[in-house]
Structures are given as C-alpha cells and as structure tokens.
A and B are shown apart, each in its own frame.
Chain A
Amino acid sequence: MLKLIQNEWMKLWSKKSSWIMMILLVIILFAGMGITKWVNTTMNEGIDERWEDRVTAELVNNQSMLSTPELSDAQREYYEQQLAIAEHRLENELPPYEYTSMQQQVLDSHLMLSLVTLFTVVVAAGIVASEFSQGTIKMLLTRPVKRWKILTSKYITSMIFGVLLAVITVAVTALAGLIFFGIGDGVFLRWDGSEVVEGSFWLQALKLAALSFASTWMIGTFAFMLGTVFRSSSLAIGLSIFLMFTGVQAVFLLSNYEIVKYYLFTHTDLTQYYTGTMLVPDITMTMSLIVLFVYFVIFMAISYWMFSKRDVTA
C-alpha cells in the first residue's frame, strides 16, 4: 500500500497543476495579509482604541446575548465562557491580541481553509477520473494489485494533499503575519472547564484548523466519489464546488424541518461549537461526528462498489 501511495504522490507532483495550486495558495495568503495591512493602516489612521474598551464592548454584547430567551444549552455555555474570559481580562489587565498581530492572524487562519477545500476538490475529483480520460486506467488495473487497494491509495493521497495544504496555510499565515505585523502583545485565554487559564494560541489555531478540515475532508470525499462514479473530473469538480457554496445556504431553507439535523452541511463546520455561531440550535458535537461518519461511509461505499465492479471500456 505504501508503494501505491508513493506512486500516486509521484504522479500528483509530476503534474504542473498541483504546483500551481500550491503556489497560488501561498500567493493568495501573502496578498491577503498585505491587503489587510494596507486597509488597516489607511482606515484606522489616527484612531487609537484602547483594548479595555474593546473587551468591555464584547462583555456587554455577551451579556445581552445571554438574556435572549431562545438560546440552546450549547450556546448559553459558550457565551458564559466568553463572559468569564472578558471579565478575567479586565480584572487582571490581560489584553487580547491585536487584530493586527501575527498571533491573531494565526488564530483566524482556519477561515482560509475554504481555499484548501477548493484545491482538494480539484485533486480528489481528478485522481481517478484522469486515469480514465488519459486511458492509463488500463495499464493501472492490469497489475497484480486488487482494485480496492488502488482506490484506497488514491483516496489517501488526495487527503494527504489536503492536509499538506492546510498545514501550509497555517504556516504561511504565521510567516506573512510575522512579516507584515510582527508579534503583538497580548495573552490567549481559554476556559478549562472550571476556570479561565492562559493557553497557547498555536494549539488553539491548530485545533480550529483541524475542526475546519472536517469540511474539506467531507467535500473532498464527495468530489472523489463523483470523480470515480462519473469518470469525469470537470463534472465532479463543478458539482462539488456548487454544493460547497450552496450547501450551507440550504441549511437555512431546511431549518424549519426535522430533516435539517441529518443534512450534511448542517454538520460540516465543526468550528461552530467553538465560535458560538451554530447553524441549528439543538445539535451537538457528537451528533455532528456521527452524521459526518455516516455520510463518509456512504460516499466511500459507492466509490468502492463502482470502481471494483465496473467493466473498463475506456
């Protein structure tokens, strides 16, 4: 299996498109950081906001959120924690990171993972389909290797590509943040279950990135399935990206029905449990993980079944 993955990895990086995607990602991250810097310096000229004012505003906001009646338990818990952290900051004079600091940029880097999703979709959709369109599938499947092993190596390879791009995203954000903004003052605080403690922003950033990656992983798996079933990468890429943009919108359309709880895109954003912006009130992390796993099993089952059984006529 290792040799098969090695093969897929070699093919992947022999294609120019993979390098272009990676370089594009780095350029976009740097450019984005540059634009943020520029906007900040031109817009905020002369405005000198104290951090205490910001935290106080946050604190007030959290209090008002807590007084809304239709809050779910998870949301209530989240706002209570945020409130405790804000109070702790003011009491002990522990400022949060400035928006224009490397640390805050790293903490927000998971927001850029949609770009990683896009590129992972391109690779996952094409990794099987391109073998069919180039005709190389005949060479690949007349080897003493069972078809399911070949499919597995392709799936793992496209997911490793996704993970690599995600890691690059966090690393490049840190580098660009360092260059454009430098290390800012501040302390990262978190709720450890009973009290507010200092934490590592790196760990928090990686945790958020890993949770965001669930979405990349699911949409990538979906694209992989479409590429395997239709043997056309353009169709698979098109459909996956369409769903990536409209899928979350559909959550709001479905929100009045029970079925929304079993809908894939209600659950793909796992960071919702840590940022207080839950799409549907009464869902839990456990439930999301179960739903994602069921979808994953269905996507994979269809891919394997189609790939193993079908006659190759290309």
Chain B
Amino acid sequence: MITTDICIIGAGPVGLFSVFEAGLLKMRCHLVDVLPQIGGQLSEIYPKKPIYDIPGFPEIKAEELIENLYQQILPFKPTFSLGERVDKLSRTEDGGFLLTTSDQTEIKAKVIVIAGGLGCFEPRKPELQRLEHFEGKGVVYMVKDPEKFRGKKLIIAGGGDSALDWSIYLTEIAEQVTLVHRNESFRGAPDSTEKVFDLAKAGRLNLLLNSNLHALNGNGVLKSVDIMNKQGELKKVEADYMIPLFGLSPKLGPISEWGLNIDKNAIEVNTFDYSTNVPGIFAIGDINTYPGKLKLILCGFHEAALMAQSAFKFVYPNQKLSFKYTTVNGVNAF
C-alpha cells in the first residue's frame, strides 16, 4: 500500500508540474501512468518535436521539456507507478481515497488530481473475431518481460519500428518468430529493415509480407492464426503468442465510471480551482473542460498552481495557507 497526500493520475507535463506546485505547499505526490515512461504524449507521440509556446523557452524539444520538469520536481521526491492504469477508485472512512491499479497496486491519498491528457494510451487492436476471447490467453499487446517468450512460437503483426525491433530481438529468444505486415516493404529505420530481411533470408524469421491477420484459432488458448495474403490465400501459422504492434491510441478509460461530470470525453471543472463535482478530485490539463478552455501545456501549468491552493485544504484542513514566492522562500526540498 502506497500512502501519499496527492495521487496524480497522468505523468505528462501538467501532472509532473503539479508535483512542484504541491511540493511548495508541503504536499507529497505519487504519480500513476499507463505508459511505461513519464512525459505522456510528449514522450510517447512527439519526443523530438520542438514546442514554441512554453514561457521562457523560445524553442524546446518535447523530451527536453519533460527532462527539465523531472529535474524541477526531484526535490519533492515524487514516487511513480508507471505502466499501470488506475482501474478502481473508492472512498476511505477518513474522507480520503483508495485507488487500485491494473497491477493491483493500492494507493491511499487525500486528494486525487486527474491530469490524464486525452486518456489512457491503449494499444490499437486489429479487427478480428473473438479477439477479446484470446486477450491474455495468447494475444498480448506489449512486451513487458521478453523471457516469457523463450522457446515459444510467436506471431508479431505490424510495420512500424516496434514491430521490427521486437521481431529482431525475439528471434534470439523464441523458437519461431513470424512477422506479418500488410505491405511489401517497411518504412521503419533502414537498419532494422535490413536486419529483418537478413534474418528472413537466413531462415531465422518467417516473414509474411502483403499479408493480414485473418482469424484466431484455439480452444480457450491461442493455438494458431490464419493469415491471408493479398491474393486471398490463407496460411495457418502455429502460435503460442500473437503480439499485434499497431501503436497506441488514447481512450478515456475507467475515469468515465467515477461519477464525474463529463462532457465530450472531458471532465467538467470549476475554474476557481479546477475541482470536479466530486470533492477532493481535481482535473487539470487536456482532460478538463470549461468555457474558454484551451488545450495548451501552459494553461495546464496555471491550472496546476490554482489546484494546489485548494488541495491544501484537504491535506491540511487545520492549517492556514499563506502564499509565498519561490524568490523569497526558495525551494525547500523534502
């Protein structure tokens, strides 16, 4: 059980900066993010893209902004549950919250801050009948522990860098790797593409180009996958695991079931302090909505600062908050 003052859902730029604003007011934070790294869409979607509207930075790469924010919050010793999704939220007797993640991590917090951007990044799924039936029983969307695939027969589907990279890596571990791709060439990194073709030539990788996943077979557990080529010919490939790697796409996820007022996939908040309709739960950044809302990182930073002032009342109900500038007080690390 992790106990903290504030549990921040989402470790994007706004979630990270909340740790700073909370830290100035002596509140500790734990962050949960479904992605395996911090930074949200900045790290996942556009790490190398320059951003031009961060005050004080005429130009900064997305990944640099995340690194800077991380350095900025380190004095306040944030803790993280990465690669986990908050699935359940309940009230505790003392008026706080208990959150349970997809990995069954339990987090007790006095305040919840949802800084979830556009929601959870979830894997894009192929359209296959009975796909859900095989999820976790042969169909996996992420390679968390490669050792799980030792000596197994794998089918990897996709044409991006991750499909190429995992195919190369897993040929060393698995008994057999089949890579299925819709087109006849790859647009990933030239090095990886060359390696994949070399492995196929050497007979170490079963490469099926111009082909699509067609059907999953097995009684309860995945046994084989039917793959159809552009000519409409079917091929049955035996498989212990199928790993579709078609990138990630954002979904609001379990947040939609927590009794919050939601309008078009965004959480309605009071602009006084970005509180939601549930006392003790705040929503900041791209995930909230209010009249005049602009989805900008800099607006999220502002929302984080105001949120922290009100969160203080839940964390320290008997204390009076006096506002102090960092230029006067400095940053007092925990």
Bound together? no
